[in-house]
A and B are shown apart, each in its own frame.
Chain A
């Protein structure tokens, strides 16, 4: 494996990690707000708070990791994406900032406020939408590099069916991933009321999420036929993803094996996300930037990989400890600790 491939795989892995943990977080924020509006908050409140409180900061790190890592491995991305994404990037930062700090203000600080909860719920859906812009423009055709530098073509971005498709896919996926995790968490907590409500949410969003996935798949054909063709070449990856989805939904429907169901959802998105990414290669930004011409020098690549391995040796045991204490400790989950 070349250094370029190691680099992009590492980054893709972190982006995938962010996709999962952030989806759980964003969706939980939305459900927390939604159940407040529909007076069902007493059912889900404890479940959501008990899970989120110790981990919200960790979620954020996955994202930071990705955008610092990509500049480390592929410095040229800073030039292209940095210049083009000033507006959508700043909007995402502002939403993330409001969300993160108001979560802490509400949880550790003083009061339960309707406004805080609205902010938390609304940003939970807007952030995935604004972050998904990055994936959209990577397909090409949304950027001009004529005369003075890189520019984002806003008319093209807001006028294309594909970009709206990606936004919708991001939002429904967030709601589905989150609900399927929280269903599992509620069942561990032996909170049957919360479990059945969250299960309903999971089932509600399961078909829109897979449906949007398929629609975006075909919209891509028009947007970037080369990428689409590459995806067709590895069609079996997406086929397996579909199978994982079907099994997960079946288990949730049957109210059994909810832990395995969530793992299947993770596998579903893992396959779809890595299939999408692998087919996109070698381009980081079609057609301007490939992983080869944007890559850092060899010494930096080696030291980044060494740092990465060292970092993982430190992180994995710590993450394991975190999960053991808050995710798999039955007493904690049930609220006895």
Chain B
């Protein structure tokens, strides 16, 4: 490598690699069960076997991604102790509870997912089978909820006191429900739903672009875009609240994202641009007052600038790029899904035209990119702290001399898993196209156009 061996740096990279890989599958894992549930529900309510088949095929692909999500989740769970032993020691005292509960939620989900997948034709009543997906969706969302409270705690620690280096007066509930919790949780959960809707939308859109006119794909696209637009709007609202949270509790993170140096009122929002070596912003678009409005709701809100912080507690300023990327993609997704909905409501307009279809296709991969960027911004943005204001990343890391070797092994592992997973999914659906399956179930003529 290009730098001397330092377990802290290698631990950071390895943790990023694991989480970055895991979050792809975790996002799908949280969002897709909800969409499966909606599709199955529509199938029952409208008595439309297309939707039921949609739920069925989504579930089949879903379980392959769940497997990778489970094993990488196990990996990060153990790696936290292996790479950050001191952090976990502190965390156990304060946020052992939500971590413990996350496992319960996961347990709950695992049990019902197994049952759901193997009972498709087992019950006479369709409703009975539908009820089984509800605990899966609830468990998935609850996992996200609990584990995000842990992350919120790291950003806005509370619920304990340190007296002479010893943790005292711990309140697990106060630690869980800290000021960062409401915005973080709602943002994470909504964007998981949004991303999953777009990922599934992308699949349907690809079929339509290829010239497949089957109504099955049109229904899939419609369902995902309606869900998409709802969650995109929700994410917007929460994004605004997150800005206000940061202003209040982690102003250095907000200032770093916005390259906001001087403390001032009527602060402008900086979009795009580059930062020169002497901290000058170039080629950026400035929206007057917008940062003050984002931070406090009024143009005369005073926003603290980077110059007011001591340099050794400032996060790296490149987080601005990730922040912008996330916001841009969010707006793009909202725009595309809204466009699709408007076009399908207007008589005579064709929402399945080439341009819209293409926009939806790139929406899926972009939404994943936004998840990655958002997490990089959130995590790098609180450097140098592992627990904000309490423990630095360096104090939390392992001292083991072997982290570099582990990094390469895990990179190799994720590469192999990623490639095989993609290959398996592709093969699975290619060898069993929807027309084929409809015919097998005797549905090809009854309801297809």
- CB of A93 within 8 A of CB of B400, answer no
- CB of A299 within 8 A of CB of B89, answer no
- CB of B96 within 8 A of CB of A300, answer yes
Q: Which chain B residues have a beta carbon within 8 Å of chain A's beta carbons?
A: 60, 63-64, 66-68, 70-75, 77-79, 81-86, 88-94, 96-97, 99-104, 106-108, 110-115, 117-119, 122, 135, 167-168, 170-173, 398-400, 402-403, 406, 409-410, 413, 417, 420-421, 424-425, 427-428, 431
- CB of A78 within 8 A of CB of B89, answer yes
Per-position binary interface string of chain A over residues 127-160, scored 1 when its CB falls under 8 Å from any chain B CB and 0 otherwise: 0000000000000000000001111000000000
Cβ-closest chain A residue relative to B60: A108
Rounded to whole angstroms, the CA-CA distance of A151 and B35 in the bound complex is: 48
- CB of A314 within 8 A of CB of B104, answer yes
Cβ-closest chain B residue relative to A322: B111
Rounded to whole angstroms, the CA-CA distance of A102 and B106 in the bound complex is: 20
- Other-chain residue from A64, A89, A105, A297 in contact with B103 (beta carbon distance below 8 A): A64
Name B's interface SS. Answer: helix
State which residues 86-104 of A face B: CB under 8 Å: 86-87, 89-90, 92-94, 96-98, 100-104
A232 interface residue, CB < 8 Å from B? Answer: no
Q: Please, which residues of chain A bring their CB within 8 A of the CB of B111?
A: 58, 315, 318-319, 321-322
- CB of A64 within 8 A of CB of B398, answer no
A335 interface residue, CB < 8 Å from B? Answer: no
A-B contact pairs, 14 of them (CB 8 A): A57-B70, A58-B114, A68-B99, A73-B92, A97-B75, A108-B428, A296-B92, A297-B167, A300-B96, A304-B96, A315-B107, A318-B108, A318-B111, A326-B118
- CB of B71 within 8 A of CB of A100, answer yes
Rounded to whole angstroms, the CA-CA distance of A108 and B66 in the bound complex is: 11
Cβ-closest chain A residue relative to B79: A93
A60-B74, A104-B64 known; A75-B417 Cβ under 8 A:
no
A69 interface residue, CB < 8 Å from B? Answer: yes
- CB of B114 within 8 A of CB of A149, answer no
Known contacts A100-B67, A151-B400; 12 further A-B pairs (Cβ under 8 A)? A65-B103, A68-B77, A74-B92, A82-B81, A86-B398, A93-B74, A105-B67, A110-B424, A299-B171, A299-B172, A300-B93, A319-B111
- Other-chain residue from A74, A101, A149, A308 in contact with B100 (beta carbon distance below 8 A): A308
Rounded to whole angstroms, the CA-CA distance of A86 and B409 in the bound complex is: 13
- CB of B100 within 8 A of CB of A96, answer no
Rounded to whole angstroms, the CA-CA distance of A110 and B430 in the bound complex is: 10
Q: Please, which residues of chain B bring their CB within 8 A of the CB of A73?
A: 92, 96
Rounded to whole angstroms, the CA-CA distance of A111 and B428 in the bound complex is: 9
- CB of B420 within 8 A of CB of A105, answer yes
Q: Please, which residues of chain A bring their CB within 8 A of the CB of B428?
A: 108-110
Rounded to whole angstroms, the CA-CA distance of A296 and B88 in the bound complex is: 12
Report the minimum CB–CB distance from A132 to chain B (whole Å): 16
A69-B100, A75-B92, A78-B89 known; A97-B114 Cβ under 8 A:
no
- CB of A53 within 8 A of CB of B413, answer no
Rounded to whole angstroms, the CA-CA distance of A327 and B336 in the bound complex is: 48
Please list the 3 inter-chain residue pairs (A to B) with the smallest Cβ-Cβ separation, ordered nearest first. A75-B92, A72-B96, A104-B67
Most buried by A among B100, B170, B399: B100
A61-B103, A79-B89, A303-B173 known; A86-B110 Cβ under 8 A:
no
- CB of A61 within 8 A of CB of B97, answer no
A58-B111, A79-B86, A87-B402 known; A93-B75 Cβ under 8 A:
yes
Q: Please, which residues of chain A bring their CB within 8 A of the CB of B70?
A: 57, 60, 100
- Other-chain residue from B74, B106, B400, B424 in contact with A96 (beta carbon distance below 8 A): B74
Q: Please, which residues of chain B bring their CB within 8 A of the CB of A247?
A: none
Rounded to whole angstroms, the CA-CA distance of A135 and B97 in the bound complex is: 25
Report the minimum CB–CB distance from B176 to chain A (whole Å): 10
Report the minimum CB–CB distance from B134 to chain A (whole Å): 12
Rounded to whole angstroms, the CA-CA distance of A97 and B64 in the bound complex is: 13
A63-B74, A83-B399 known; A101-B96 Cβ under 8 A:
no
Rounded to whole angstroms, the CA-CA distance of A80 and B114 in the bound complex is: 36
Q: Please, which residues of chain B bring their CB within 8 A of the CB of A58?
A: 107, 110-111, 114
Rounded to whole angstroms, the CA-CA distance of A60 and B74 in the bound complex is: 8
A6 interface residue, CB < 8 Å from B? Answer: no
Report the minimum CB–CB distance from A52 to chain B (whole Å): 10
A61-B110, A81-B81 known; A105-B64 Cβ under 8 A:
yes
A54 interface residue, CB < 8 Å from B? Answer: yes
- CB of A322 within 8 A of CB of B114, answer yes
- CB of A307 within 8 A of CB of B170, answer no
- CB of A57 within 8 A of CB of B77, answer no
Most buried by A among B85, B171, B398, B403: B85
- CB of B420 within 8 A of CB of A54, answer no
Most buried by B among A98, A101, A308, A314: A101
Rounded to whole angstroms, the CA-CA distance of A308 and B421 in the bound complex is: 35
- CB of B89 within 8 A of CB of A90, answer no
A47 interface residue, CB < 8 Å from B? Answer: no
Report the minimum CB–CB distance from A59 to chain B (whole Å): 9
- Other-chain residue from A65, A75, A87, A109 in contact with B107 (beta carbon distance below 8 A): A65
- CB of B413 within 8 A of CB of A97, answer yes
A61-B103, A94-B413, A304-B100 known; A297-B93 Cβ under 8 A:
yes
- CB of A72 within 8 A of CB of B409, answer no
- Other-chain residue from B67, B167, B172 in contact with A101 (beta carbon distance below 8 A): B67
A71-B99, A75-B90, A109-B427 known; A93-B110 Cβ under 8 A:
no
Report the minimum CB–CB distance from A112 to chain B (whole Å): 13
A75-B91, A82-B398, A297-B167 known; A311-B101 Cβ under 8 A:
yes
- CB of B409 within 8 A of CB of A103, answer no
Rounded to whole angstroms, the CA-CA distance of A304 and B205 in the bound complex is: 47
Q: Please, which residues of chain B bring their CB within 8 A of the CB of A68?
A: 77, 99-100, 102-103
Report the minimum CB–CB distance from A191 to chain B (whole Å): 19
A67 interface residue, CB < 8 Å from B? Answer: yes
Report the minimum CB–CB distance from A42 to chain B (whole Å): 22
- Other-chain residue from A72, A86, A103 in contact with B402 (beta carbon distance below 8 A): A86
Most buried by B among A57, A74, A76, A149: A57
Cβ-closest chain B residue relative to A319: B111
- CB of A296 within 8 A of CB of B93, answer yes
- Other-chain residue from B88, B104, B403 in contact with A307 (beta carbon distance below 8 A): B104
Q: Please, which residues of chain A bring their CB within 8 A of the CB of B117?
A: 53-54
- CB of B114 within 8 A of CB of A307, answer no
- Other-chain residue from A72, A86, A315 in contact with B92 (beta carbon distance below 8 A): A72
A318-B108, A337-B122 known; A101-B420 Cβ under 8 A:
yes
Rounded to whole angstroms, the CA-CA distance of A330 and B43 in the bound complex is: 31
A243 interface residue, CB < 8 Å from B? Answer: no
Report the minimum CB–CB distance from B13 to chain A (whole Å): 14
A57-B66, A57-B70 known; A148-B399 Cβ under 8 A:
yes
Report the minimum CB–CB distance from B413 to chain A (whole Å): 5
Q: Please, which residues of chain A bring their CB within 8 A of the CB of B172?
A: 299-300, 303
A304-B96, A326-B118 known; A315-B75 Cβ under 8 A:
no
